[in-house]
Structure 1
Amino acid sequence: RPVSMTSVADILVRVNALNAKYGHYASEDAGAARRAKGDDPFEHTYRQLLGEVEALEVRAEEAKSETSRAALATVNAEIRRAKQSLRAEWPKLEKYALKKRKGSTQEDIDDKVMRAHTLEERLEAVSDGANALKARLG
């Protein structure tokens, strides 16, 4: 029986995705700090989108090892649909980033805008099959 060996990079990607998804359960102190700071809608939306982008990155990595062209096309279509639904959330995230809250400084707002922009770039960098076609044609 052949044994499937996963690379260290695959394991790290999966661990990071699981940590992002379930990390808020790990520490009581972090939860207390979030409650004391208040419920920032930007942070809530950002964490949610970050987890979904990381899950898409994992799915895209797994799709690279797919040998069946039909299965690969199906996975790529699912990734494209998920990316489109996440793109619909971006105006809300940007609105929350620009909203000045009590005690926030301009540096905080700039940091939130930069984090939102970086996350958007990560989403666009996820391979969905159409990117390769654009690279070959363009």
Structure 2
Amino acid sequence: MLQSLFFDSATSQSYSPALWVNERLYSYGEIETRARHVSAGLAAVGQTSDARRCLLFGHRSVAAYVGVLGILDARMAYVKLSPEIPATRIAAIIMQSGAPLMLVDRRSAGVLEEVLSLLDCLLLDERPDISYTRT
């Protein structure tokens, strides 16, 4: 699998250049460390919710590349969502995917607020007594 090939390269050449994004060079080791962290977090959440899919909402960034590797390493499929497509289309894809989890990069968080306003969402801040996981 893709992530296995990447992690094998990271093991053999941890300090070698792996990715150039936004005028910064990232080594295999840096990317691996971040991706394994994402993978561990998703695996922990996935065990309790039996999640098999994860949405990845973000621009082309190091966070997005790390997210792909982390999702795949957690043995999940991912649905890539671009913040540049219309919010109504993003909301439709979210609903169709049935994915219970979403990774979001900071730069896209503002767009996500508009998308969420189009979905039926349960605001946990307003009902702290309720725990909700979409199945």
Q: Which structure has the larger Rg? A: 1
Using the size of structure 2 for normalisation, the TM-score is 0.27
Using the size of structure 1 for normalisation, the TM-score is 0.27
Greater helix content: 1
Task: Identify the structure with bigger relative contact order (alpha carbons < 8 Å, sequence gap 6+).
Answer: 1
